[in-house]
Amino acid sequence: MSAEHRMPLLFVGHGSPLNALEDNQFTRGWKEIAREIPRPVAVLCISAHWETLGSLVTAADQPETLHDFDGFPQELYELRYGAHGCPWLTRETAVAGRRFAVGIDREWGLDHGCWVVLRRMYPAADIPVVELSLNRSLPTLLHYELGRALAPLREQGVLIIASGNLVHNLGAVTLAPDADFNTPYALPWAEAANERFKSLIDSGSDEELVYYHSLGPEVEMAVPTPEHFLPLLYVLGLRRRDESVSWFNDETIAGSLTMTSFLVS
């Protein structure tokens, strides 16, 4: 693909698994962004919900829809997302990540950080999907550099989606009076952290985001564990200096969870 046909990048705040069932402003945002970007040949998803020792890429021909959550309505567990795997993308991802010893996994399917979003973006499930795991043993800088190594995939029609949340503190979830989970509501520290992250992303301050632990108490509250933040680093590593950021679904819900998402193109 020529430079003008290079696939964009997405960071998506995925929120609750119930977004697979609900029609709300966030699911509509995912639908709309899919209409705005070129149709991909395949999708590579980096989800907060697949952590491993060592970096792995999926290789199942028909990935299982993983219901990796508890306590939700039975209707949610009956949903299936029937996208095929993609052998050439599995192979090319492993090649691109060879410095990081990216291995092959034939068991993992599509977790909810991946399929809940894709079910809204591409409901026909007619685009092949591969997942890349988050290696627990990598320092943040190497997550960023592994993202950068994946750049050749964009020239092959691959849409790379990083699925997490900029602010994700389930221990601090607070619902506004008479509000449901997806009603916009932000605790002050969560709003401050989200705005700080957005400003750093807009300004290309990747080093500060890679070493986010030094950003102060609001960020410590926003990122009590790393898994929902780390997917961001892959998009930052992949972003070229001449590319712009477009924000969507920019809301804080339940006090301490941001749905904030952005497109890089």
> Has residue 194 been placed in a domain?
no
**E-assigned strands of 139-208?**
158-164
> Has residue 185 been placed in a domain?
no
Does pLDDT of 2 surpass 70? no
Average pLDDT, the chain: 97
> Has residue 218 been placed in a domain?
no
Distance CA 95, CA 102 (A): 8
> Has residue 195 been placed in a domain?
no
pLDDT digits (tens, 9 = 90+) for 26-40: 999 999 999 999 999
pLDDT digits (tens, 9 = 90+) for 123-157: 999 999 999 999 999 999 999 999 999 999 999 99
Kind plus residue range of the DSSP H or E element containing 258: strand 257-258
Diameter over CA atoms, the chain: 51
Task: Please give the tally of structural domains in the chain.
Answer: 1
Say what the pTM is.
Answer: 0.97
The pLDDT assigned to 83 comes to: 98
> Has residue 212 been placed in a domain?
no
The pLDDT assigned to 1 comes to: 39
> Quick one: average pLDDT of 54-62?
98
> Has residue 207 been placed in a domain?
no
* Of 100, 103, 152, residue with least CA distance to 131: 103
Task: Say which residues have a Cβ less than 8 Å from residue 151's Cβ, sequence separation at least 6.
Answer: 96, 238
Phi, psi of 32 (to 5 degrees): -65, -40
> Has residue 184 been placed in a domain?
no
CATH number of the domain encompassing residue 67: 3.40.830.10
Is residue 131 within 8 Å of 114, Cβ to Cβ?
A: yes
> Quick one: average pLDDT of 28-55?
98
User: Domain limits at 47?
Assistant: 3-168+226-253+260-264
The encoded tokens of residue 101 equal 């010893």
Which percentage of the chain shows pLDDT scores above 70? Answer: 98
The pLDDT assigned to 151 comes to: 98
Does pLDDT of 247 surpass 50? yes
> Has residue 115 been placed in a domain?
yes
The pLDDT assigned to 4 comes to: 57
Report the amino acid identity of residue 220.
E
> Quick one: average pLDDT of 93-101?
98
